[in-house]
Amino acid sequence: MPLTLAPVPTIDPALARRVRLVCFDVDGVLTDGGVVLGDAVGQRVELKRYDIQDGLGITLLRQAGLRTAIITGRESHSVALRAAELQIDEVIQDRRARKVPALTALLERLGLGWDEVAFVGDDLPDLGALRRVGLPVAVGNATAEVRAVATLQLGRSGGAGAVREFCEALLRARGEWETQVEAYVRAREEAV
């Protein structure tokens, strides 16, 4: 039986080319939303599971010259580790989930407008930002409220390839997917 792939969602090319900053929520977007809490010798430990293909999608965005940011309503060392590993440009962890003020300050610092931002979210803390950005994106398992404001609906769920699906759709709309894939592969074929 032949393998059938889900279609990549389409984004208007002009909108895709306008995007200069891509922001991601963490829990429910970069992860499946589950959190494993534990104790190791009196220290709180929080573990999250990240999708490796999502990470490669973010790498390709950065390789294409797009800025990336994580804006999350939880504080976790796991997020800082993953962000450093992927070389995410900006990481904002705010326990009170004040994403609009955080993003406003970031845009002012970077000299960007709301219309130059894509935001990938899944739940109520993301609504304020999603209502303002130029490209609001909902993962497949997003709440009804988030899906209602998102102009792009992904088929895959958070932590299960949704971020990769978005990265590919954005780069394809910009006409850059194949170029970035080939550049990535070539760089890994070179001798050490």
Distance of CA 79 to the CA centre of its chain: 13
- CATH number reported for the structural domain that contains residue 123 in this entry: 3.40.50.1000
pLDDT band at 62 (very low <50, low <70, confident <90, very high): very high
Does residue 72 belong to any structural domain of this protein?
yes
Does residue 53 belong to any structural domain of this protein?
yes
How far apart (Å, rounded) are the C-alpha atoms in residues 5 and 152?
19
Does residue 175 belong to any structural domain of this protein?
yes
- Model pLDDT, residue 9: 81
For tokens 């929520």, what's the residue?
Answer: 25
How far apart (Å, rounded) are the C-alpha atoms in residues 153 and 162?
10
Does residue 4 belong to any structural domain of this protein?
no
Nearest residue to 88 via CA among 72, 74, 73: 72
How far apart (Å, rounded) are the C-alpha atoms in residues 180 and 155?
23
Does residue 6 belong to any structural domain of this protein?
no
Residue-range definition of the domain harbouring residue 161: 20-189
Q: Are strands 36-40 and 43-47 parallel, antiparallel or unpaired?
A: antiparallel
**pLDDT, tens digit, 9 for 90 and up, residues 119-149:** 999 999 999 999 999 999 999 999 999 999 9
Judged by DSSP in three states, 138 sits in: strand
Does residue 1 belong to any structural domain of this protein?
no
Total number of domains constituting the chain: 1
Does residue 2 belong to any structural domain of this protein?
no
Tokens (6 digits) for 88? 């995410």
Does residue 110 belong to any structural domain of this protein?
yes
